[in-house]
Amino acid sequence: MGLKGVGELPTNGAPAAFVNAVLDALHPLGVRHIDMPLTPHKVWKALQR
Domain extents for the chain? 13-48
Residues 1-49 have pLDDT tens digits of 666 666 777 778 888 899 999 999 999 999 999 999 999 999 999 999 8
Per-position DSSP letters for 14-30, written without gaps between them: HHHHHHHHHHHHHGGGT
Q: Model's pTM, two decimal places? A: 0.71
> Measured between alpha carbons, how far is residue 40 from residues 1, 44, 49 in Å?
45, 6, 15
How far apart (Å, rounded) are the C-alpha atoms in residues 49 and 46?
6
- Would you state the pLDDT for residue 44? 97
Helix/strand/coil percent split, the chain, to 5: 55, 0, 45
- Would you state the pLDDT for residue 2? 66
